[in-house]
Structure 1
């Protein structure tokens, strides 16, 4: 089995934007590991066949971490411009400009790892439909119902049962 890193990213204090956190904890439950608390990121628990981390946003420094994995699954929320409630996208390493200076697209992170370490993992973006991005903790009911299916899909990707 390949080594896999699952990165959930988004703002847990903006309701459905925190779906990555919920999917990661559902995945950790399936892997027999304790859930992460809101103040934990998972970096102190690396070293498994399937590792999980949660972040507010992606940063270039993560290239060092992802370069040692075979597969990186990015889990994030999306809005209505994508028709599927759970959307899976194979990522190619590329530099993708963003409209905000403090954000980084997953394919850009893959490109940085490839450029610096001459090795980039396979990348997949799994995005889950969000409906409520207002301030507050907790997912909307509509997004919460998608978490088990998304966690099952991440587990299938991580274990090679596609």
Structure 2
């Protein structure tokens, strides 16, 4: 008896690292400053080298591990909770050592840990944490987020150009 189930192809090619950088921009553009990561992505999109990929997403999900496994570097660009700090913070992360939560979204460190566990590859991972003032409903960035987005775009392009010998 069939209940409309679909047969899935369970053969899967494991991704292999192909070099380059993956830039994951995270956020909800319907919640004002929460969409700042995507604004940064649009600011840099036309200036990225050929083996640098931009991937916008609403939130980090476990299925991104397969994409991440294909790169040598991944940069997560995301808003941080409002904290009156106008600076863009950039820091490297290691795979999370504690158990990975079973939720709808995961942290960058947990996602790198999943990538390593599933594909035996953990790319160099960097988080770019961006300043915000409000996550209220709306499409406009606050002044602090707008300035932060432009600063982040400059920093990100500088980081990428150093990776590629610029």
Aligned partner of residue 110 in structure 1, secondary structure: helix
1:10 aligns with 2:12: no
Aligned-residue CA RMSD (Å):
2.4
Higher Cα Rg: structure 1 or 2?
Answer: 2
Preserved contact between residue 9 and residue 75 of structure 1 (Cα < 8 Å): yes
TM-score (norm 1): 0.81
Residues 100-123 of structure 1: CA deviation (Å, up to 9, x unaligned): 932210010000010111111100
Match of 1:91 in 2: 93
Selected match of 1:52 from 29, 51, 54: 54
Match of 1:120 in 2: 122
1:136 aligns with 2:153: no
Long gaps (5+) in structure 1:
33-47
Q: Which stretch of the first structure deviates more once superposed, 125-134 or 78-87? A: 78-87
Residues 15-47 of structure 1: CA deviation (Å, up to 9, x unaligned): 000000000011113339xxxxxxxxxxxxxxx
**TM-aligned CA deviation for residue 9 of structure 1:** 0.5
Q: How many residues align?
A: 146
Preserved contact between residue 96 and residue 105 of structure 1 (Cα < 8 Å): no
Residues 70 and 85 of structure 1: is their aligned pair in 2 closer, same or farther, counting only changes over 3 Å? same
Selected match of 2:113 from 104, 111, 114: 111
Match of 2:147 in 1: 145
**TM-aligned CA deviation for residue 145 of structure 1:** 1.3
TM-score (norm 2): 0.79
**TM-aligned CA deviation for residue 159 of structure 1:** 2.9
Match of 1:29 in 2: 46
> Which stretches of structure 1, 4 residues or more, deviate above 3 A after TM superposition?
80-84, 95-100
Long gaps (5+) in structure 2:
1-18
**TM-aligned CA deviation for residue 99 of structure 1:** 8.7
